[in-house]
Chains A and B, each alone.
Chain A
Amino acid sequence: MKKFIRIASGQGYWGDRFDAPLDQVKEGPIDYLVMDYLAEVTMSIMQKQKLRDPNLGYAKDFIPLMEDLLPLLVKNDVKLITNAGGVNPVAAMLAVREIAERKGFHHLRIAAVYGDDILSHLDSLIEGGHAMKNMETGAQLSTVLSQVSSANVYFGARPVVEALEQGAQVIITGRVTDTGITLAPMIHEFGWKWNDWDKLAAGVIGGHINECGAQASGGNFLAGWKEVPRMERIGYPIVEAYPDGHLIITKHESLGGLVSEQTIKEQLLYEIGDPREYITPDVIADFTTIRLEQIGPNRVRVYDVKGRPDTPFYKVSISYADGFTCIGQITYAWPEALLKARKADEIVRKRLAYLGLKFDEIRTEFLGYNSCHGTTAHPIDDPNEVIFQIGVRGKNKSHLNAFSREVVPLVLTGPPTVTGFGGGRPKLREVIAYWPALLRKEAVQPKVLTMEVL
C-alpha cells in the first residue's frame, strides 16, 4: 500500500481557470486529478444539447482540454476522475478514446460511470411508489412533470471505486457528487471498508476542500486576500490522504496561492447546512469534529474527523422550466445619481402598469449603492454613479418581451446624465427551477463501462 496519495483539484466549476488542471499535473507530483464540472442548472443545459445531438450532453470544453491534458496524465502516471460526462458520460468517454487512439496511447483504460440519469424513468419510478416529493415544499412531482428538463441521482464514490478497480486511468462520470470523486481514490488505494465511517467522512471533507478549486487555497479569501501570492497563477489545493484517515492539505510550491488554517476554515463553511450532518451518498460527515493544524508553510493537517452511517436515500436533482426572467440596467452619473435612478424606477413601473403587463415579481436594485448589502449597507449621500437595475419574472413570454423594450428608452425620455445602454434591449432567460428530492437507493443502479484503447 502507498504511504499516502496526492489528490489534486483541477476545476471548481464549469468555466473555472482552463489551465489549472494542466498546472496541477505539470508543476509537481500528484497521483490523482479530480475535476468538478456540474451544477444543477448545468444538467438541464446538457440535456438540451443531447436532445439536439445524441452525441453531446457533456462538458464540451473538457474534450479540447484533454488534447493537452491526456499526454501529461499518461507521462506522469496520473489518474483523472471527473464528472464532466454530464448527461452523456459514454459519449464523452468515446470522444476521449478518439484522442487517445490518435495520440497512440495503446492499452490506456477509460471508464464511464452512468445510470444516474433517471429522466426517462420518472413515470415508472412514480408508478413504483417513488414519489420524489419536493424536499422543501412537500409538493408532488406530478405537478411539474411535463416541464421537467433533467433528472439525476447523485451517486457517491462507489461506482468510481469500481472503475478504479477495473484499472481505469481516466474516469468520466455523470452526476457523481463533488466529494465522491476525491473520496473514491482513498477507498481504492487504502482498502477502506464501506463502514469505516470515520475514514469515509475524512475523505468527504477532503472532497469538500477540493470541490471549489482555489477557494480553499487563497481564492475568495476574506481574512487575508491581500497577502495571497501570485493569484494570476494560483495553485489549486492538493489533498494528501493517509491510510489512517488523516489528510494534509497543500499545493504545489511553484504556484501562487496560500493554504492556511484560515483558508481551510473559510472553505469548510462554504455552502453547508447543519455542520453535524453533512449528508453524502456514502457517509454522514460531522464537521464539528474536524481538527486543523498548520504543520508547515502551505501545509494544514486535517484529523479526528468522525462520521456516521449513510442514509437509505440518494439525493435527486430535478430541473424544470418555470417561466422567464429579464433584467435591464442603465447608469446614472452625479449629481443626484441615486435620485435619478429612483425616478427611472418609478417611470418604468408606471409604464408597466400603463401597458397592463403582469409579472410574478418585479425587483429593483441600485448597483454601486446597496445591491449587495441591502439595508445593512452604509448610506452614501450623493454617490458618483449608480446603476439602475430592474428585473421581472413571469410565465407570459409576451409580457416579458414587452418589458425588455421599456428600459433603454429612458435614455431620451427620463432623467439626465445617463449612459451604459450599449447592450441594447436586455435578453430573456428561461428559468430553470430546481426540485430537490430523495429516492431510495435500491431504485437505481450505477453502471460502469470500461474500455481499453486499441
Chain B
Amino acid sequence: MKKIQLVRLAHARSGDKGDTANVGIIALRPEYYPLLREKVTVEAVKNHYGDMVTGSVERFEMENIGALNFLLHGALGGGGTLTLKHDAQGKTFSTSLLRMEIEVPDNLEVD
C-alpha cells in the first residue's frame, strides 16, 4: 500500500446551504470510485476537517457518476450573511478535502 493525496484521484466542487457546506468529490477514473467509497468515509472526512466542522458529517453515494457528496454541518461560521469567514460560501472546501491522503494499492495507476 502507498499513501496518495485525493487530488490525484478525484476532482471536486463545493458550495453552501445555510451553515452547511456541501463537498462533492468525483473519481477521475471509474476504477478510483470503489477506493473513494472505501476510504473516504464519514469518520475520515470529519477527522480531516477537525475544528473546521462543528457539526456532523453526512455522506451520500452517487455511483452513477462516480461521486460522493458530503454535507459538513456547522462549517460556515453561521453561513449566509452572518458569517465572518472570508470563504463565506465554502467554495474552497472542495480542494481542502482533496488534500486528504488515503492508502491505495502499490500497483494503482495514477497520472
User: What is A's interface to B at a CB cutoff of 8 Å?
Assistant: 40-41, 136, 220, 222-223, 262, 265-276, 287-292, 322, 325, 327, 361, 363, 365, 367, 371-378, 389, 391-393, 429, 431-434, 436
Contact = CB atoms under 8 A, between A and B. Distances in A.
Interface string B59-84: 01111111101010000011111101
Given A363-B85, A378-B99, A431-B81, A220 B13 contact: yes
Given A265-B65, A290-B64, A361-B78, 12 more contacts: A266-B24, A270-B13, A274-B58, A276-B60, A287-B62, A361-B77, A371-B86, A374-B96, A377-B99, A392-B84, A433-B82, A434-B18
A393 B84 contact: yes
A393 B79 CA distance: 13
Contact of A222 (B12, B22, B49, B69): B12
B84 A327 contact: yes
B69 to A, nearest CB: 6
Contacts, number: 130
Contact of B22 (A273, A325, A431): A273
Contact of B26 (A262, A271, A432, A436): A262
Nearest to A220: B13
B102 interface: no
Contact of B13 (A267, A289, A371, A434): A267
B80 A433 contact: yes
Nearest to A40: B80
B31 interface: no
Contacts of B86: 365, 367, 371-372, 389
Contacts of A267: 13
Contact of A292 (B16, B65, B84): B65
Contacts of B66: 265
B52 interface: yes
B69 A275 contact: yes
Given A41-B80, A431-B82, A434-B80, A269 B24 contact: yes
B96 A269 contact: no
A373 B95 contact: yes
Contacts of A373: 92, 95-96, 99
Given A262-B26, A363-B85, A431-B82, A374 B71 contact: no
A86 B81 CA distance: 19
Interface residues on B, range: 35 or more
A372 B93 CA distance: 8
A267 B67 CA distance: 12
A136 B19 CA distance: 10
Contact of B65 (A222, A271, A290): A290
Interface of B: 11-13, 15-19, 22, 24, 26, 28, 48-52, 58, 60-67, 69, 71, 77-82, 84-87, 92, 94-97, 99-100
Contact of B28 (A223, A325, A432): A223
A372 B84 contact: no
SS class of chain A's interface: helix, strand, loop or mixed?
Answer: mixed
Contacts of A223: 11, 26, 28
Contact of A376 (B28, B52, B77, B78): B52
A280 B62 CA distance: 20
Nearest to A373: B96
A291 B64 contact: yes
A378 B26 CA distance: 23
A266 B26 contact: yes
Contacts of A274: 58, 60
Contacts of B95: 222, 373
Contacts of A431: 81-82
Given A271-B17, A275-B69, A376 B84 contact: no
A246 to B, nearest CB: 15
A318 B22 CA distance: 22
B72 to A, nearest CB: 12
A363 B84 contact: yes
Contacts of A393: 78, 82, 84
B52 A372 contact: no
Contacts of A272: 22, 24, 69
A222 B94 contact: yes
A375 B26 contact: no
Given A389-B86, A436-B18, A288 B81 contact: no
Contacts of B62: 269, 275, 287-288
A400 to B, nearest CB: 12
B48 to A, nearest CB: 6
A40 B81 CA distance: 10
Contacts of A433: 80-82
A265 B18 contact: no
Nearest to B94: A222
A136 B73 CA distance: 11
A266 B60 CA distance: 15
Contacts of A436: 18
A265 B67 contact: yes
A431 B84 CA distance: 11
A30 to B, nearest CB: 26
Contact of B67 (A136, A269, A374): A269
A376 B99 contact: yes
A155 to B, nearest CB: 20
